[in-house]
Amino acid sequence: MDRESGSYSWHEARKIVPLLLSIAIVSVSHADEVAGAKHTVAIENMQFQPKVLQVKVGDLIVWKNRDVVPHTVTASSGDTFNSGKIEPDGSWSYRVRKKGTIPYVCTYHPTMAAQIVAK
Protein backbone atom coordinates (compact mmCIF):
# COMPACT_ATOMS: atom_id res chain seq x y z
CA MET A 1 0.00 0.00 0.00
CA ASP A 2 1.25 3.44 -0.87
CA ARG A 3 1.27 5.30 2.47
CA GLU A 4 0.80 8.73 0.91
CA SER A 5 -2.15 7.93 -1.36
CA GLY A 6 -3.64 5.10 0.73
CA SER A 7 -4.12 2.98 -2.41
CA TYR A 8 -2.90 -0.49 -3.33
CA SER A 9 -0.58 -1.22 -6.21
CA TRP A 10 -1.76 -3.57 -8.95
CA HIS A 11 0.55 -6.26 -7.61
CA GLU A 12 -0.99 -6.02 -4.12
CA ALA A 13 -4.55 -5.88 -5.45
CA ARG A 14 -4.05 -9.10 -7.42
CA LYS A 15 -3.41 -10.89 -4.12
CA ILE A 16 -6.57 -9.57 -2.45
CA VAL A 17 -9.10 -10.07 -5.27
CA PRO A 18 -9.16 -13.93 -5.10
CA LEU A 19 -9.63 -13.74 -1.33
CA LEU A 20 -12.54 -11.32 -1.67
CA LEU A 21 -14.17 -13.49 -4.34
CA SER A 22 -13.85 -16.57 -2.11
CA ILE A 23 -15.52 -14.75 0.77
CA ALA A 24 -18.35 -13.58 -1.50
CA ILE A 25 -18.98 -17.09 -2.86
CA VAL A 26 -19.04 -18.64 0.61
CA SER A 27 -21.42 -15.92 1.83
CA VAL A 28 -23.86 -16.44 -1.03
CA SER A 29 -23.89 -20.23 -0.70
CA HIS A 30 -24.40 -19.98 3.07
CA ALA A 31 -27.32 -17.59 2.55
CA ASP A 32 -29.02 -20.25 0.37
CA GLU A 33 -28.61 -22.85 3.15
CA VAL A 34 -30.13 -20.52 5.75
CA ALA A 35 -33.02 -19.50 3.50
CA GLY A 36 -33.83 -23.09 2.49
CA ALA A 37 -35.43 -24.39 -0.66
CA LYS A 38 -38.67 -23.14 -2.22
CA HIS A 39 -41.53 -25.57 -2.89
CA THR A 40 -44.79 -24.92 -4.71
CA VAL A 41 -48.10 -26.62 -3.96
CA ALA A 42 -50.76 -26.25 -6.63
CA ILE A 43 -54.35 -25.86 -5.54
CA GLU A 44 -56.39 -27.01 -8.53
CA ASN A 45 -59.29 -29.31 -9.35
CA MET A 46 -60.30 -29.07 -5.69
CA GLN A 47 -57.11 -30.70 -4.38
CA PHE A 48 -53.60 -29.93 -3.17
CA GLN A 49 -50.77 -31.22 -5.36
CA PRO A 50 -48.63 -32.84 -4.13
CA LYS A 51 -50.67 -34.44 -1.37
CA VAL A 52 -47.51 -35.17 0.64
CA LEU A 53 -44.66 -32.69 0.49
CA GLN A 54 -41.22 -33.58 1.93
CA VAL A 55 -39.33 -30.49 3.12
CA LYS A 56 -36.59 -29.40 5.50
CA VAL A 57 -36.79 -26.93 8.34
CA GLY A 58 -36.18 -23.49 6.83
CA ASP A 59 -37.78 -24.31 3.48
CA LEU A 60 -40.43 -22.01 2.02
CA ILE A 61 -43.71 -23.46 0.75
CA VAL A 62 -45.87 -21.44 -1.63
CA TRP A 63 -49.46 -22.49 -2.32
CA LYS A 64 -50.91 -21.17 -5.61
CA ASN A 65 -54.67 -21.22 -6.06
CA ARG A 66 -55.40 -22.20 -9.67
CA ASP A 67 -59.08 -22.97 -9.01
CA VAL A 68 -61.99 -20.63 -9.73
CA VAL A 69 -63.07 -20.57 -6.07
CA PRO A 70 -61.27 -19.39 -2.91
CA HIS A 71 -59.49 -21.85 -0.63
CA THR A 72 -57.56 -21.90 2.64
CA VAL A 73 -54.46 -23.73 3.79
CA THR A 74 -55.08 -24.51 7.45
CA ALA A 75 -53.13 -26.86 9.73
CA SER A 76 -55.43 -29.56 11.11
CA SER A 77 -54.03 -29.41 14.65
CA GLY A 78 -52.73 -26.60 16.77
CA ASP A 79 -52.07 -23.12 15.49
CA THR A 80 -49.17 -23.97 13.14
CA PHE A 81 -50.57 -21.99 10.21
CA ASN A 82 -53.75 -20.63 8.68
CA SER A 83 -53.61 -18.82 5.38
CA GLY A 84 -56.99 -17.20 5.58
CA LYS A 85 -58.84 -16.83 2.28
CA ILE A 86 -56.71 -17.37 -0.84
CA GLU A 87 -58.56 -15.93 -3.82
CA PRO A 88 -58.39 -17.52 -7.30
CA ASP A 89 -54.97 -16.79 -8.86
CA GLY A 90 -53.73 -15.83 -5.39
CA SER A 91 -50.97 -17.40 -3.36
CA TRP A 92 -49.80 -17.78 0.23
CA SER A 93 -46.50 -18.89 1.70
CA TYR A 94 -45.20 -20.45 4.91
CA ARG A 95 -41.63 -21.03 6.12
CA VAL A 96 -41.22 -24.38 7.91
CA ARG A 97 -40.05 -23.81 11.49
CA LYS A 98 -39.84 -27.27 13.03
CA LYS A 99 -39.57 -30.96 12.22
CA GLY A 100 -42.63 -33.17 12.07
CA THR A 101 -45.70 -34.03 10.05
CA ILE A 102 -48.30 -31.31 9.60
CA PRO A 103 -51.63 -32.35 8.10
CA TYR A 104 -53.66 -29.50 6.61
CA VAL A 105 -57.03 -28.87 4.93
CA CYS A 106 -59.04 -26.24 3.15
CA THR A 107 -61.60 -25.07 5.70
CA TYR A 108 -64.09 -24.25 2.91
CA HIS A 109 -63.71 -27.74 1.41
CA PRO A 110 -62.65 -30.13 4.21
CA THR A 111 -62.26 -33.09 1.84
CA MET A 112 -59.25 -31.26 0.41
CA ALA A 113 -56.45 -32.56 2.61
CA ALA A 114 -52.68 -32.94 2.35
CA GLN A 115 -49.61 -32.96 4.58
CA ILE A 116 -46.14 -31.55 5.02
CA VAL A 117 -43.37 -33.82 6.30
CA ALA A 118 -40.51 -31.69 7.65
CA LYS A 119 -37.14 -33.30 8.40
Q: pLDDT digit of tens for each residue in the chain (119 aa)?
A: 555 666 656 566 566 656 555 554 544 444 444 679 999 999 999 999 999 999 999 999 999 999 999 999 999 987 789 999 999 999 999 999 999 999 999 999 999 999 999 99
Res 75: pLDDT: 96
The angle at the Cα of 101, spanning 48 to 49, to the nearest 5 degrees, equals: 15
Do 29 and 59 lie in a common domain? no
Do 50 and 105 lie in a common domain? yes
Cα gap 66→44, rounded to integer Å: 5
Do 56 and 83 lie in a common domain? yes
Do 72 and 87 lie in a common domain? yes
Res 13: pLDDT: 53
Do 49 and 103 lie in a common domain? yes
Do 51 and 98 lie in a common domain? yes
Do 14 and 60 lie in a common domain? no
The gap from C-alpha 75 to its chain's centroid, in whole angstroms, comes to 17
Res 11: pLDDT: 61
Which range of residues forms the domain containing residue 19? 1-35
Do 42 and 95 lie in a common domain? yes
Do 4 and 56 lie in a common domain? no
Do 28 and 50 lie in a common domain? no
Do 52 and 68 lie in a common domain? yes
Do 9 and 61 lie in a common domain? no
Give the total number of structural domains in the chain.
Answer: 2
